[in-house]
Amino acid sequence: MSGAEETEELLDTALWRGEAFLKGTGGRSVRGALPSRITGISIDTRTLEPGDAFFAISGDRFDGHDFISAAIRAEASVVVVAQSKLAALGMYQVPMVVVPDVLVALEKLGAAARDRSSAQIVAVTGSAGKTTTKEALKSVLSEFGATHASPASFNNHWGVPLTLARMPEDTKFGVFEIGMNHPGEITPLVRMVKPHVSVVTTIAAAHLGQFESLDAIAEAKAEIFTGLVAGGTAVINGDIPQTQLLRTRAREASAGAILTFGEGSVNETQLTDHTLTASGSRFSALVSGGAVDVNLRLPGRHQIQNMLALLTVADLFGVDLQQTAKALGEISAGKGRGETRRIDVESGGKAMLIDEAYNANPQAMEAMFEVLSAARTEGEGRRVLALGDMKELGDQSAQLHAALAESIATAGIDMVFTAGPDMRHLHEALPTHLRGAHALDAEELAPLLKTALKPGDVVAIKASNSMKFSHLVDALSEGSVRAAN
């Protein structure tokens, strides 16, 4: 290969070429020539790869301009800085792009990435299930072409533009998760993403501290329809009380089509049969009148609902549904989202742990109780819950925590351990024979739970992420191995 051919091939593999990057950010170049190729976008020097562009975003806790030297050591090819900080950066000799506001420059680059893309784009929101649905869509659509998706839960005011800016030009499918804590937060993000399909997985009592009702939450989630491209499709859970409200908002947003998924026969994607197992489910569905059967390794009826949404999107994107069903069978639960593992217990032998430590709201709790109820114990094993506070429930928090007692009592669960000030309300509402122990936090709960577990038990762990129940999972899992989901 000649030098010219090698240079051309390198340029073809670039995420951004220098001039397109500069134009996209709306900035001006200083301190040397821009690199001919930029291989990635970073806002965190700890994960920055050689050749990345570093955006020195100023956040609530950190100012990215304080990490310019770290970005240079990590071999950033260019740094994007604020005009107001430039004078203080005189000691750094690295190509820079100077902009009025670094976050706004990232948003502009994300918009430029979207404008140059011919990918089919889906945006997903919902009170629960959005990350699982997004990850499953990423996995399944990758079987049919180059797929780009939000990493982790990059679903906020910096995560969405960052994910957009990282989208390669040759992407065939783009999958974006969009979250919110307050009204008005989804609108600017979805208008950047400009999806062909917008999905609402479900509406549940999450963020009630910022909203007066579930309908108010639905109104905020419905903002995801406002960014649809002309003729785009709204995909809505058809089994929830807010379905009609969401339909109305989708029509007002001029959605080209509105499709629902769920168990009712009026849904365009209809669940026709299902069997729940300890480690997943088997279900059948009609998607636009075509039958599809799925063996799913994600436990719980709520996961079937998420996959009905996925099948609807897959059908809209024109991919083969039978191949999609096969790909769904290969997906397993991730850490904190239903992953199972065998753990050692102090008295000898093994127990099974179901890790749902990532997040929690009342609806998700109910779904997890159903999963635990279906789990198979061994010998004299019991079904055990370890629960932490559900956050952002506002004035209804005490009532919603205590109300879980009724569902627990009817789910065949044998013992419940709780941690956190809000979960005390549940602890006190439980029948005496179901009370394990109550603790201040995950750290205090860990030794109590470890001592109580017996061989053959199945223990399910769930809490809002800020309760750090992942530490409880780690404490129980020391020396264990992940089980097959």
Query: How does pLDDT run along the chain (485 residues), one tens digit per residue?
Result: 444 444 444 445 799 999 999 999 999 999 889 999 999 999 999 999 999 999 999 988 889 999 999 999 999 999 999 999 999 998 898 999 999 999 999 999 999 999 999 999 999 999 888 999 999 999 999 999 999 998 877 889 999 999 999 999 999 999 999 999 889 999 999 999 999 999 999 998 776 667 788 999 999 999 999 999 999 999 999 999 999 999 999 999 999 999 999 998 999 999 999 998 777 889 999 999 999 999 999 888 889 999 999 999 999 999 999 999 999 999 988 788 888 889 999 888 999 999 988 888 898 899 899 889 988 899 999 999 999 999 988 888 999 999 999 999 999 999 999 999 999 999 999 999 999 999 999 999 999 999 999 999 999 999 999 999 999 999 998 755 455 45
Alpha-carbon span 318 to 321, nearest angstrom: 9
Alpha-carbon span 123 to 412, nearest angstrom: 37
Structure tokens at 381: 């094993």
Q: What is the pTM of this model?
A: 0.85
Alpha-carbon span 365 to 462, nearest angstrom: 8
pLDDT value of position 276: 84
For residues 175 and 149, the answer to whether their CB atoms sit within 8 Å is yes
Query: Taking the alpha carbons of 224, 230, 233, 236 in that order, is the dihedral positive or negative?
Result: positive
Assign residue 207 a region (left: φ > 0; alpha: ψ between -120 and 50; beta: otherwise): left
CA-closest candidate to residue 256, choices 228, 216, 297: 228
Alpha-carbon span 15 to 4, nearest angstrom: 19
pLDDT value of position 355: 92
Alpha-carbon span 292 to 313, nearest angstrom: 14
CA-closest candidate to residue 356, choices 344, 342, 372, 343: 372
CA distances for 26 relative to 36, 51, 160, 275, angstroms: 17, 20, 19, 54
Structure tokens at 258: 């509105």
Alpha-carbon span 259 to 113, nearest angstrom: 28
Residues in the chain: 485
* CA angle centred on 56, ends 65 and 54, rounded to 5°: 120
pLDDT value of position 9: 45
pLDDT value of position 10: 44
